[in-house]
Amino acid sequence: MYLSRLTLNPRTRRVQRELANPYELHRTLMSAFPETLPVGERVLFRVDVDDRTGVSTVLLQSHGQPDWAWLGDPRANGYLLHAPESKPFELVFTPGQSLAFRLRANPTVKHSEPGQRQGRRDPLYKEEAQLAWLERKAAEGGFRILHVAIAKEGNTYGRQPVEKTDEAAPAGPKTRRLTLHAVCFEGLLQVTDPDKLWETVQQGIGPAKSFGFGLLSLAPAR
């Protein structure tokens, strides 16, 4: 596994545009990987904003090593404040171990309608519903929550191209609006199943992983 850190330059129009549209940021980050991802690859990222400076940092996790050579393209001039950082990592857990965690998530509930192949996802706005969602994910993911603080970031908006599946169908909108409710969970967890937790770290938690959600960051408990 690899962990990369990109410190974005907030003064460039490209960065401003991509921070305003998570799909565009996703496309830029994915240019560091093959167009067809290897089997099993899962790219997760999160944007953290420094409250003091306002500078945004992208933390990106992947199975394969990303190629940040595209940053040498003239069009990427000034995109970062300094060179990208990237390093391999592997985590080993033990049952009962306590760890500090951070998770930016898109907690939702799925509703299925008759005749629909895919159900509608509705955001969970109430804190008790968000906490219940996190506890369910923890039980499935090899850990349990000891303590958590919930910071509601509100809705994130953007636009995503619409894939046309039927060439004979009438022309429709070329993009669709994205509305994603962002919540940041920070606290302390306890490992219940080390193998399952490592799988959860690799796969991420919850929906909208392509748009900056689901990356579970862990650190030794203080």
Among the candidates 31, 56, 88, a domain finishes at 88
Give the model's pLDDT for residue 9: 94
- Determine contact, residues 88/27, Cβ cutoff 8 Å: no
pLDDT band at 115 (very low <50, low <70, confident <90, very high): low
Query: pLDDT tens, 10-56?
Result: 999 999 999 998 889 999 999 999 999 999 899 999 999 998 888 99
Query: pLDDT tens, 203-214?
Result: 999 999 999 999
Question: Are 10 and 114 part of one and the same domain?
Answer: no
From residue 193, give the alpha-carbon distance in Å to each of 68, 94, 105, 110, 213. 35, 8, 22, 27, 23
Question: Are 61 and 170 part of one and the same domain?
Answer: no
Among the candidates 62, 88, 114, a domain finishes at 88
Average pLDDT taken over every residue of the chain: 89
Among the candidates 20, 55, 88, a domain finishes at 88
Q: With left for phi above 0 and alpha for psi between -120 and 50, is residue 126 left, alpha or beta?
A: beta
Question: Are 77 and 125 part of one and the same domain?
Answer: no
Which candidate, 55, 68, 43, 44, places its Cα nearest to that of 19?
55
Which candidate, 24, 49, 21, 58, places its Cα nearest to that of 157?
21
- pLDDT at residue 183 tops 90: yes
CATH number at residue 148: 3.30.70.1210
Question: Are 24 and 125 part of one and the same domain?
Answer: no
Number of domains in the chain: 2
Question: Are 104 and 80 part of one and the same domain?
Answer: no
Question: Are 104 and 67 part of one and the same domain?
Answer: no
Domain that holds residue 11: 2-88
From residue 121, give the alpha-carbon distance in Å to each of 44, 109, 124, 180, 217. 20, 6, 9, 10, 25
Is residue 200 situated within a structural domain?
yes
Question: Are 111 and 206 part of one and the same domain?
Answer: yes
Is residue 93 situated within a structural domain?
no
Query: pLDDT tens, 144-180?
Result: 999 999 999 888 877 777 765 545 445 555 677 778 9
Which sign does the torsion angle of CA 207, 208, 210, 215 carry? negative
SS3 202: helix
The string over 130-160, giving b where at least 16 C-beta atoms fall within 10 Å of a residue's C-beta and e elsewhere, is bbebbeebbeebbbebeebeeeeeeebebeb
